[in-house]
Amino acid sequence: YKVCACKKDMTGMKVLVTAGPTQEALDPVRYLTNHSSGKMGYNIAKICMLRGADVTLVSGKTALAAPMFVRTIPVTSAKDMFDAVTSHAPEMDLIIKAAAVADYRPSHIADEKVKKSDAELAIPLERTDDILKYLGEHKRPGQFLCGFSMETENMLENSQKKLQKKNLDMIVANNLKMAGAGFETDTNIVTFITPDTVTELPIMGKDQVAFRLIDKILELKTF
């Protein structure tokens, strides 16, 4: 009889994971968002917990139940996520940013519901803060920073640029146009990119992607 249990090779590690979409309010009843389901980030949080880590999950609004034995901090907007992530980041050994953060938000949030008219409506948008870029600029020695990259074309080149620009140790790239990859599926097709390696993985469940991602990070880094 062999014991069936998850290896505890993250014991004592402090991990911060972000997941899900952000919502950017337009008025009291409407917001801008994206198709992120949160499944990738929630799977990563769960796998880190099973492997013995102390896990904090900063999550945008999703339909998923908060994972057990994980400190879950719910947020709504990119600004909320920035505040939650940057306040917890300094003590973390590993930060994995799987959230789909809005790049823009309405420049102004109307106090009252916007009423329709017959004219065309244009909504001015302003940039949100790039949370991952901020973390890269404030990375402390020994801290490992992993981002995600969602592309529909030139996946490798664009993702390598993000890795460099944001001062990351790894980026997990996926091409939204491949069947079985991306937002709403239970599977993903990812490529792990580091400053000097590119590792393509076959299609697999998001729980397995999470497991392989942690294997790769632990292999690269001795915490």
If binding is defined by CB under 5 A, does position 200 make contact with Ca ion?
no
Which span (1-9, 50-58, 123-131, 195-203) binds ligand CTP, by CB under 6 A?
123-131
d(CA 64, CA 39) in angstroms, rounded, equals 8
If binding is defined by CB under 6 A, does position 97 make contact with ligand CTP?
yes
How many angstroms separate the first and last alpha carbons of the chain? 33
State which residue, 44 or 150, has the beta carbon closest to ligand CTP. Answer: 150
Contact (CB, 8 A) for 81 and 18: yes
Catalytic positions:
34
Residue 130, binding choice from Ca ion, ligand CTP, none, Cβ under 5 to 8 Å by partner class: ligand CTP
Please tell me the chain's helix, strand, coil percentages from 3-state DSSP, rounded to the nearest 5.
25, 30, 45
Task: Report in angstroms the alpha-carbon separations of 136 from 125, 162, 217.
Answer: 25, 11, 17
From candidates 16, 19, 70, 78, binder to ligand CTP by CB under 6 A: 78
Which span (42-50, 83-91, 100-108, 191-199) binds Ca ion, by CB under 5 A?
100-108
Look up tokens 């949030």; give the residue: 109
If binding is defined by CB under 6 A, does position 36 make contact with ligand CTP?
no
Q: Smallest gap, in angstroms, from Cβ of residue 196 to ligand CTP? A: 20
